[in-house]
Structure 1
């Protein structure tokens, strides 16, 4: 059954079961949807859409984090309309990525809330005048869902734009079903596996993992906003405890944020994380030190280290590609840094600690390929991660050249996805070591930006975690290594700039045997990031070369090289 058919079935067989519950920043339940209510409201939205759109037309989903988004999404699926989730404007400002998406997808309709009517003129200026539908005001109506097949396009999942402009990934109904089956198998889900999530619904982790997976297995999802998590990381853990969640997770920084808050205010009294069986970690580099600190901090609250579930995925594979085995916890190894710089994985007890991202899930294939010769690499050799399976999507919207490049038919009998990520297999475990476009090569040695960034963060406590960018720019004789590091807002008036800079330069030289060509200490919030928190290194490099950054401590002095 496709997802629309699954929802129809659940509405008929368990109409009163709570599918989704939304909690606010105080942990209070503010909205809920039973399977029957979601089905009924989605049919009404589909009926309204059918008055303005034909199957295959695109519809923007312009929502803050709320359950009406889910109603709109399934309304699109029922109507055969291609949903296009986007990051909604905040404080009256439309993000550059959102502008690009709106113009690119050529929407026939925009689904939103009555309270966001003021956005209509902005959207009209960008893409004409699509039909404007306030989902919370759509009257009840009967509708017969449009028949779809596994090859029918379900929605466009735009990439985060961390290395280029967002591209619309063509996700079919078959892709969704294949990836949902992989998640269910990897996470060990059933109808009793309550999920807690806060990732944005317009992001693949939030939509595919936290919204669609619970419906696929017939479970309940407890959802909250990303803003609530950012302001109160402990609320995430309290919600897991309160609802006895089986599964929850996020990028690596989410676990760091919880540890940091616990260091300031202590572990909340009464917190019980013993129900948490799958604590997934993905969407950015996984750091072994983060997992250790989180385990040590929250073990008294019942958290088990075996619950950690490192995973790897990307929008072009719908979501998940590899994952740990449930209950196995994390896997790490120590690698010789010099050997890794030359593309070889060689164990060394005092080397760099790498975190595994799990193994290929049933239905999927992972290969490590030389990105230049396109020949398979042997076990233990670094190369580009290639993925095949029914979860690999159809390509990019209106990007035939990019589609041909990223989804080649290089190997007989299989259509692979070139991820652009660099990795290595040790046995069947995947270790992701960097991104090909971000790879820094100095004097013939490979340096992975997130390693340099991690060293910078660890060099001094005033450096803001997750807020460092490393890249190269042209130099007189060779590429020049640049590091831009944000200083914590609370430390910017007390820390000594010379001390911070000295610690960073010494650490980078000591750990990586390379000297920094330029080091910029900047105020918090200067570095560009995607909506999911990924560092936009290309955008940081462009900004360094053009308008420059606001340096710390001279916060009014803007400089560019």
Structure 2
């Protein structure tokens, strides 16, 4: 499915070599492999933000092992339907389903385009966003699959939550997942801006290495005592929306190590 504009291209060039090179550490520091590492070493640890009012907002209090299991299941289903490099829109409110779907895209080597719902069922903006972004597939929760006003002859819609993905049990799909290698520069995330009547717009893709570098900067800010609002501001300056840094940063911090 063809898209329009620069959002179909390569990840945007970054400062100081972001998107290429080795800044930010080896492949283990990329968000997907890092979660796999955490799940293997500290499966029951719950990744948290160091801010009491929103400590579990991004990962919703799920352990490394649970996030990894959800991600592997989503990635296995995506891999059966699409090629690596495909673009997947995630239609969820904040919570564990969004976190599992986002990491699942990273595990599958596909680009996540979050469309974060303000509340469960608040799907009015979805049709225009799908037309504008032209994703290869839409992932959404079981409670919103039916009401999504999406032409399924043009765009596949798959239900994915903590129990089933595409109708199959998460535990079974998770066991069938096979590792997909990704480059630091491979597209991982695109931010969608809802501009109302015009249908929104997409920023250029960020690579896996870009996300790793931004999370490294945010983690350093946290270690220096930066408050939650300013951590969010730093993330926004780098093009990472609120829901996404709240998913990735707790795993990067891993306060229980």
Which interval holds the TM-score relative to the shorter structure?
0.5 to 0.7
Match of 1:124 in 2: 151
Contact 2:92/2:120 (8 A) holds in 1: no
What are the within-5 Å matches in structure 2 for residues 2-17 of structure 1? Answer: 2-17=30-45
Change (3 A) 1:158 1:39: same
Separation (CA, whole Å) in 1 of partners of 2:198 and 2:227: 36
Pairs aligned (count): 204
By percentage of residues, which structure has more helix? 2
Match of 2:161 in 1: 135
Report the alpha carbon displacement of residue 79 of structure 1 after superposing the two structures with TM: 0.6
Report the alpha carbon displacement of residue 117 of structure 1 after superposing the two structures with TM: 2.5
Match of 1:188 in 2: 223
Report the alpha carbon displacement of residue 114 of structure 1 after superposing the two structures with TM: 1.4
Contact 1:17/1:35 (8 A) holds in 2: yes
Matched, 1:217 2:253: yes
Change (3 A) 1:168 1:16: same
Match of 1:147 in 2: 181
Report the alpha carbon displacement of residue 64 of structure 1 after superposing the two structures with TM: 2.0
Contact 1:88/1:94 (8 A) holds in 2: yes
- The CA RMSD measured in Å over matched residues stands at 3.4
In structure 1, stretches of 5+ residues that fail to align are 221-561
**Normalised TM-score (structure 1):** 0.33
What are the within-5 Å matches in structure 2 for residues 70-469 of structure 1? Answer: 70-88=99-117, 94-96=123-125, 98-120=126-148, 122-124=149-151, 128-136=154-162, 137-138=164-165, 139=169, 140=171, 141-142=174-175, 143-161=177-195, 166-169=200-203, 170-188=205-223, 204-219=240-255
Separation (CA, whole Å) in 2 of partners of 1:214 and 1:189: 16
Contact 1:58/1:105 (8 A) holds in 2: no
Match of 2:8 in 1: none
Report the alpha carbon displacement of residue 66 of structure 1 after superposing the two structures with TM: 2.0
Report the alpha carbon displacement of residue 94 of structure 1 after superposing the two structures with TM: 4.3
Separation (CA, whole Å) in 1 of partners of 2:214 and 2:200: 22
1:47-82 CA deviation, whole Å, 9 max, x = no partner? 111111111111121112221110011011101121
Match of 1:514 in 2: none
3-state SS of the aligned residue for 1:216?
helix
Report the alpha carbon displacement of residue 163 of structure 1 after superposing the two structures with TM: 11
Contact 2:113/2:189 (8 A) holds in 1: yes
Contact 2:46/2:61 (8 A) holds in 1: yes
By percentage of residues, which structure has more strand? 1
Match of 1:69 in 2: 98
3-state SS of the aligned residue for 2:220?
helix
Separation (CA, whole Å) in 2 of partners of 1:43 and 1:91: 24
Separation (CA, whole Å) in 2 of partners of 1:189 and 1:212: 19
Separation (CA, whole Å) in 2 of partners of 1:129 and 1:43: 23
Separation (CA, whole Å) in 1 of partners of 2:44 and 2:121: 38
3-state SS of the aligned residue for 2:43?
coil
3-state SS of the aligned residue for 1:5?
helix
1:240-264 CA deviation, whole Å, 9 max, x = no partner? xxxxxxxxxxxxxxxxxxxxxxxxx
Separation (CA, whole Å) in 2 of partners of 1:57 and 1:7: 21
Separation (CA, whole Å) in 2 of partners of 1:135 and 1:46: 12
Contact 2:48/2:254 (8 A) holds in 1: no
Match of 1:46 in 2: 75
Contact 2:75/2:108 (8 A) holds in 1: yes
